[in-house]
A = this chain, B = another copy of it.
Amino acid sequence: MTPVRPRSAERRAEILRAAFEVIAERGYRGASLAAVAERAGLTQQGLLHHFPNKAALLVAVLEERDRWDTGGSGATGRAAWRLDLLATLVDYNAMRPGVVQTFSALLGESVTDDHPARDFFTRRYARVRADMAGVLRAEFGERLPGGLTPERAAPLLTAMLDGLQYQWLLDPEAVDMAAAFRDFLGLLGVEEGK
């Protein structure tokens, strides 16, 4: 017997997919619940049954995004960063510009005043920096081959991932995001196969 997936979970997944698309197109501030509901084939009332307000929908979108990146590691969105998978993640992102666009638009908006994603991103980056530093220390000890400590390399790794995404989204012909990220791993001295 195959387990029956609850209808409500399917509907929820459809709403998140629709929200992803609408946020990629218009940003969070430009996205309306009406537009998301229409995209998902629901009434706005039907959408509100699953997500009580726009901010709740946004947080669910962000958590879903983190869940994808960590291979379904669960609702905490806790990333199991693996150094050898970082370059692969960038390759993967290069095949899904819509997801990268949603994330990049939200990151940009999150620095404006009182944005509902601000706390999410602040906590996420603190966690990602700490996780990355831990992974680097486990593999290389107190100093990477390129000379930096794990704690000083971690914010640079994170910044490079984000910064390259903007240049790539704006001009994918001009910027090879995956090759550029591998160049950076080479500078740190942590590239694969060396």
Contacts and interface: CB of A to CB of B under 8 A. Distances in A.
A164 B159 contact: yes
Nearest to A121: B170
Contact of A26 (B107, B113, B160): B113
Interface string A155-168: 11011111110110
Nearest to A186: B147
A110 interface: yes
Chain copies in the assembled complex = 2
A48 to B, nearest CB: 22
Interface in A133-188: 146-148, 152-153, 155-156, 158-164, 166-167, 169-171, 174-175, 180, 183-184, 186-188
28 contacts: A24-B113, A26-B29, A30-B112, A101-B111, A104-B108, A105-B109, A105-B111, A105-B112, A107-B108, A107-B166, A108-B108, A108-B166, A121-B166, A122-B171, A126-B171, A126-B174, A129-B167, A147-B186, A147-B187, A148-B187, A153-B183, A156-B164, A156-B180, A156-B183, A159-B159, A159-B160, A159-B166, A163-B164
